């Protein structure tokens, strides 16, 4: 899918981006096995049966409070969130796999001189831990989590925060995610948005959300932003 229509986003002309901001879960990495393990650890405390990974997967991406409300609907949600975060630290490395094209794509974008950042509803301490573990931290000029803003995605606060950290305006950046919530977040921030069908949303739902592009995979990103395509959004 390629719509060159900026959809009425004020000031969002078709210019070459200076930065790419990413979601994390489902966009850069398959984190669902580890997330499901932590969810089922909390459920076991209450005598609840384990959920299959796919059932957990569709609740990822809207922040830990939402995730725990939907998957562990008993007990105190705030306490469940804290227990989830602590268990994640035990399983997060074994339960996470970078997508095959993640490292090469980040390297290619870095070589193009683009600034990179992460804006994710994933708890920031977990994102930072994974970036260190997979030796990706040096690629990113900023990492923004839900703790950094008043409102998580789909509110635009996270992208505003990331743009401020990079000292850029909305029309100088591209957001890449895997969910309709990422499309909504980008629209609210006036940032163009491309999505990959590798996360918590089916392709049909992504298409219906009307992103500026629906990519086949992450590797398309560096190719489309590279010199062969003029380095522009179109």
Output the CA torsion sign for 10, 14, 19, 20: positive
Domain with 62 in it: what CATH number?
1.10.150
Domain with 196 in it: what CATH number?
3.40.50.1000
Please name every residue paired with 143 in a beta bridge, in sequence order, or none if there are none. Answer: 118
Q: What is the pLDDT of residue 198?
A: 94
Question: Residue 1: pLDDT above 80?
Answer: no
In a domain, 1, yes or no: no
Among 118, 60, 122, 58, residue whose Cα is nearest residue 89: 122
Q: What is the pLDDT of residue 39?
A: 97
How far is it, in rounded angstroms, from Cα 164 to Cα 168? 6
Averaged pLDDT score across all residues of the chain: 90
CA distances from 84 to 73, 145, 178 (A): 14, 16, 23
Compute the residue count for the chain. 234
In a domain, 184, yes or no: yes
Among 11, 17, 13, residue whose Cα is nearest residue 173: 17
* Residues 161 and 199 both lie in one domain: yes
Model confidence at 2, pLDDT cuts 50, 70, 90, reads very low
In a domain, 12, yes or no: no
* Residues 41 and 119 both lie in one domain: no
**161 lies in which domain range?**
19-30+97-229
Share of the chain above pLDDT 90, in %: 85
Written as six digits, the tokens of 15 are 């210019």
Model confidence at 129, pLDDT cuts 50, 70, 90, reads very high
In a domain, 2, yes or no: no
Q: What is the pLDDT of residues 168-195, one digit of tens each?
A: 999 999 999 999 999 999 999 999 999 9
Q: How many CA atoms lie within 13 A of 150 on its CB side?
A: 3
How far is it, in rounded angstroms, from Cα 212 to Cα 176? 10
Q: What is the pLDDT of residue 226?
A: 80
Written as six digits, the tokens of 115 are 């600034």
How far is it, in rounded angstroms, from Cα 37 to Cα 41? 6
Q: What is the pLDDT of residue 61?
A: 85
Least confident of 13-17, 75-79, 169-173: 13-17
Given 49, 66, 91, the domain boundary residue is: 91
Helix, strand, or coil here: 83?
helix
* Residues 147 and 116 both lie in one domain: yes
Model confidence at 62, pLDDT cuts 50, 70, 90, reads confident
| Residue whose token pair is 């078709």 | 14
Question: Residue 14: pLDDT above 50?
Answer: no
Taking the CB of residue 150, how many other CB atoms lie within 10 A of it? 9
Pairing of strands 173-177, 19-22: parallel
């Amino acid at each position: 899918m390629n719509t060159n229509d900026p959809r009425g986003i004020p000031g969002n002309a078709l210019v070459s981006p200076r930065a790419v901001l990413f979601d994390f879960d489902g966009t850069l990495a398959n984190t669902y096995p580890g997330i499901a393990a932590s969810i089922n650890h909390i459920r076991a405390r209450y005598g609840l049966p384990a959920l299959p990974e796919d059932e957990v997967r569709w609740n990822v991406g809207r922040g830990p409070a939402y995730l725990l409300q939907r998957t562990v609907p008993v007990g105190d949600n705030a306490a469940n969130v804290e227990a989830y975060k602590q268990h994640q630290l035990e399983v997060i490395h074994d339960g996470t796999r970078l997508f095959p094209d993640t490292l090469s794509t980040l390297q290619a974008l870095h070589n193009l001189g683009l600034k990179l950042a992460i804006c994710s509803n994933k708890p920031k301490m977990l994102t930072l831990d994974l970036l260190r573990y997979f030796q990706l931290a040096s690629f990113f000029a900023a990492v923004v989590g839900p703790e950094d803003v008043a409102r998580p995605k789909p509110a635009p606060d996270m992208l505003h925060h990331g743009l401020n950290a990079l000292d850029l305006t909305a029309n100088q950046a591209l957001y890449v995610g895997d969910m309709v919530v990422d499309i909504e977040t980008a629209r609210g921030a006036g940032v163009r948005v491309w999505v990959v069908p590798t996360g918590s949303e089916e392709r049909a739902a992504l298409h219906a959300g009307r992103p500026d592009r629906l990519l086949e995979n992450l590797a398309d990103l560096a190719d489309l932003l590279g010199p062969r395509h003029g380095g522009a959004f179109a």
